[in-house]
Each structure stands twice: as C-alpha cells, then as structure tokens.
C-alpha cells in the first residue's frame, strides 16, 4: 500500500527551525512493529500515525512513536499533526472544525487551530491529564546528569522533580542562562538515575531568560535531553508540565509563559504555555506556530500483526 506522509517544523514559523515531526497519513493496517521501524527510519524525536477514530465523534486516533518506543502523549507531535490535517482539509472541500480531538493512550487530546487573518499558522492543545508530581531528585544527581555543579541547580522554588500532564519528565530549574548553556548530558549518570516514575528525560529551565533568538523577550529558556543523549529542540509536553508545576508552587491560578527552547542547538523554538483554573479544575495548554516542510509517500504492505 502506498502511504503518504508530511513533515512539519513545530513551534517555529520558518522552515528548519523548531522541532520536526513526521505525520504518516495512511497508517491503517500497520503493525506496532512496523510503526516503530518507520519512526526509526525517519529518525525524528517523534513520528505520528493517523488512524480512523474509534469514536466517530472524534477527529482521529493518533499513535506517537519515538525512535525507541511508543509514548502515550506528546506536545509537538499533536500540534504538528493537527496543523498537517487542518492544512490538508483547508485545501479541500471539507475543512475541519476549529477544534480537533485526538484519541491517544493518555486520553482525549483537544487541539484548536491557531489562525492569523484567517490563515492557519499553528495549533494549541490542552493536556489530557492534570499535573502529577512524583519523586524528587537530589540536586547533586541532576547536576551530575547535566555535567553541572550542584550550585547550578535551584531548589528554592521546587526541588528537581518528576512532573507530568500526560508524559513524565524530570523538571529542574537552573540558576542562570550560563548554566543552561553549559549543560551536557552524562550517559553514566543518566543510566544511574533514569528511568524514575516513568521519566526517562530531563527538562532543564531557567528564569534568567533574556531575549529569544529573534530578540523578543521570553519568560523562560529551556533545554531537554533524552536518554539517547540527544537534545530536543522543543518539548511541548515537558513545557506544559513545567508551567503547571511553576503555577502550583507559586500559588497562581493563572499563568502564561513564553518559552524559548532549542537555541543552543541551532533550532530556535517558541512555545506558549498557559495554566488556568476554573471551579477547582486546572487546565494546561501549550501552543505555537508550525510550517510544512516536506511530503511524499512510501510503499509498505499491511501486517497481519497488531
């Protein structure tokens, strides 16, 4: 079967910036093993596979794979997938509604289209789960994982901690932009610490942010390192977890953060994280711009395996 795919750069408005995602549009009949192999072939931090929804009231069933595993939820793959589907629908006879709903292992993920002057420019999702705070991690262990000194790890607002709004990460605040710039993942230290409570990656951020790559102001600068010792240019699910954690420790019912990520690896990205509470229920959203990059197809027969 000929299977179409589209790639998009997410959390950026120019090609070759932000975080790339591959969206496989014709995923019916593919087995889990085939999807994993395709994700390895693309080599992006995530590849998504679009399937018919199990509930026709929803837009699609979306499965998300890193090069090493399937994950229940992620930020930039959802935003990129929504952007790709909405872009293709807009060029046809039946545009999609402003809000899309994806079925995923973590639950239903609502994603709204972001438009400027009537033109689709990106998307914003609502995290499928409330903030969950799990194990705290000693600052010296995090410092070792990032090749930093213990003094580079701040603990006055919160200790380094596993946090999740659908996918867990170790979230650590750093003392300075310089410390963030000096981060280098240490494989031995990573293997000694992770996984912990399902978290396999470390998201480091600093409020010593300064301007982003465009010269505009931002509230937070961040970097995220995976167990493969690679850096992620823009991590929506981790940014959402960080924003929810910051709002909680500050005691704020509303918070909006402009987050810059990927600068130190040459893939500058801008993410907008929002946290608000209504009737005791906290909602965490993450959004940003997208740009289409490539499209094509490959032939792969269906598998008899699920």
CA 281 to chain centre: 22
Separation in Å, CA 181 to CA 208, 222, 283, 299: 11, 9, 31, 42
The backbone torsions φ and ψ at residue 212, rounded to the nearest 5 degrees and listed phi first, read -80, -170
Catalytic, 124? Answer no
The radius of gyration computed from the CA coordinates of the chain, to the nearest angstrom, equals: 19
Which one of the listed residues 14, 28, 41, 46 is annotated catalytic? 46
CA 64 to chain centre: 11
Can you tell me whether residue 241 is helix, strand or coil? helix
* 289 closest CA partner among 276, 270, 263: 270
* 40 closest CA partner among 78, 3, 67: 67
* 146 closest CA partner among 177, 182, 200, 196: 182
Question: Would you name the residues annotated as active-site residues?
Answer: 46
């Amino acid at each position: 079967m000929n299977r179409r795919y589209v790639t998009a750069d997410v959390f950026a408005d120019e090609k070759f910036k932000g975080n790339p995602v591959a969206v496989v549009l014709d995923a019916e009949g593919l087995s889990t093993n085939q999807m994993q192999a395709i994700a390895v072939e693309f080599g992006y931090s995530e590849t998504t596979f679009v399937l018919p929804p199990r509930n026709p009231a929803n837009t699609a069933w979306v499965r998300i794979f890193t090069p090493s595993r399937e994950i229940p939820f992620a930020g930039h793959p959802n935003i990129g997938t929504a952007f790709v589907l909405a872009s293709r629908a807009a060029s046809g006879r039946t545009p999609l509604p402003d809000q899309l709903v994806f079925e995923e292992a973590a639950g239903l993920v609502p994603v709204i289209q972001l438009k400027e002057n009537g033109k689709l420019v990106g998307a914003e999702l609502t995290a499928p789960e409330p903030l969950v705070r799990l194990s705290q991690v000693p600052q010296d262990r995090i410092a070792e994982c990032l090749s930093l000194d213990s003094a580079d790890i701040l603990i006055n607002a919160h200790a380094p901690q596993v946090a999740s709004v659908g996918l867990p990460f170790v979230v650590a605040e750093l003392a300075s932009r310089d410390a963030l710039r000096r981060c280098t993942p240490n494989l031995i230290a990573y293997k000694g610490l992770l996984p912990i409570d399902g978290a396999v990656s470390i998201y480091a951020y600093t409020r010593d942010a300064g301007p982003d790559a465009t010269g505009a102001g931002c509230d937070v600068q961040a970097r995220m390192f995976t167990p493969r010792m690679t850096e992620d240019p823009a991590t929506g699910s981790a940014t959402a977890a960080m924003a929810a954690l910051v709002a909680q420790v500050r005691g704020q019912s509303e918070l909006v953060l402009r987050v810059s990520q990927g600068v130190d690896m040459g893939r500058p990205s801008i993410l907008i994280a929002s946290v608000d509470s209504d009737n005791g229920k906290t909602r965490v959203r993450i959004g940003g711009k997208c740009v289409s990059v490539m499209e094509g197809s490959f032939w792969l027969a269906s598998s008899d395996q699920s």
